[in-house]
């Protein structure tokens, strides 16, 4: 019997759909947090895109595909909707799940022993504190060790094509189609003419702070990772590992129109 690890958004709706879907599936489900040492055949998420992002490190570590049921508001990366129970069960029982391999990116820092992986984006942003509650920071961006941009801002976002429809998009960055081999560097509220720039994902991106800048925090896929100090540089590039993700049957541009361009209409 297949062993399936569960990631469930902690709300009543997601927990109820998880129970209903699991009851009729005929596979062995287990909570990932309580079953150390059990290798899953797949990772199933009930929630939205945030739940998928939370499952990424576990799925990559176990080389398991991610399958998701959207019980959240957006569910841009989701495999199924809440009406797809039969198709969900049929998919889980297949011997070989047909998944896409999605590029992941890594963040290297002298302050971290291991590379940090992300699917959507890494954000370097000002660290608010009592003495400096709203001060901008000085950011220097290097591409293959050549200075690309310098600016004062609230921070900077380095986003994958998958993540270009997330924070970077809200900050004024372009949307990248998922098959584009590129990343987008998006300043956050820059105090200058600095603008988003798209570069090849084969490049190495270096980010450091100006000499008089305040410390920053580094967040990957929405989670705090570490603090960045003035004399440190982080380096961002393609990771060797990829995420196995089962995507829905709806094509990319239909999802873009349905779920992003109309996002504000039904979800304010």
User: Whose CA is closest to 158, among 187, 124, 122, 119?
Assistant: 122
User: Whose CA is closest to 159, among 184, 190, 192?
Assistant: 184
Q: Is 83 a known active-site residue? A: no
From the candidates 11, 41, 49, 251, which is the catalytic residue? 49
Whether the Cβ atoms of residue 11 and residue 36 lie closer than 8 Å to each other: no
Provide the H-helix boundaries in 70-193: 85-92, 167-170
Q: Cα(103)–Cα(163) distance, rounded to whole angstroms?
A: 11
DSSP H helix total and E strand total for the chain: 6, 16
Length of the chain: 268
268 C-beta neighbours (distance < 10 Å), count: 5
Residue 175, both tokens: 């949307």
**Catalytic residue annotation:** 49
């Amino acid at each position: 019997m297949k062993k399936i690890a569960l990631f469930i958004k902690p709300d009543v709706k997601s927990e109820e759909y998880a129970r209903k879907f699991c009851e009729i599936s005929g596979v062995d489900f287990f909570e990932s947090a309580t079953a150390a040492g059990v290798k899953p055949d797949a990772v199933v998420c009930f929630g939205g895109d945030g739940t998928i992002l939370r499952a990424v490190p576990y799925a990559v570590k176990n080389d398991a595909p991610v399958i998701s049921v959207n019980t959240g508001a957006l569910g841009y990366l989701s495999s199924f909707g809440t009406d797809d129970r039969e198709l969900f069960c049929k998919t889980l029982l297949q011997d070989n799940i047909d998944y896409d391999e999605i590029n992941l990116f890594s963040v290297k820092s002298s302050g971290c022993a291991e590379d940090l992986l992300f699917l959507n984006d890494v954000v370097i942003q000002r660290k608010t504190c009592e003495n400096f509650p709203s001060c901008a920071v000085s950011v220097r961006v290097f591409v293959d060790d050549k200075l690309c941009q310098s600016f004062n801002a609230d921070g900077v976002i380095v986003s994958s094509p998958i993540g270009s429809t997330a924070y970077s998009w809200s900050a004024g960055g372009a949307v990248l189609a998922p098959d584009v081999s590129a990343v987008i560097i998006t300043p956050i509220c820059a105090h200058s003419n600095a603008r988003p720039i798209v570069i090849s994902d084969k490049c190495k991106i270096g980010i450091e702070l100006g000499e008089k800048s305040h410390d920053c925090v580094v967040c990957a896929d929405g989670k705090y990772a570490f603090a960045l100090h003035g004399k440190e540089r982080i380096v961002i590039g393609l990771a060797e590992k990829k995420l196995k993700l089962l995507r829905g049957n709806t094509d990319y541009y239909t999802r873009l129109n349905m779920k992003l361009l109309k996002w504000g209409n039904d979800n304010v």
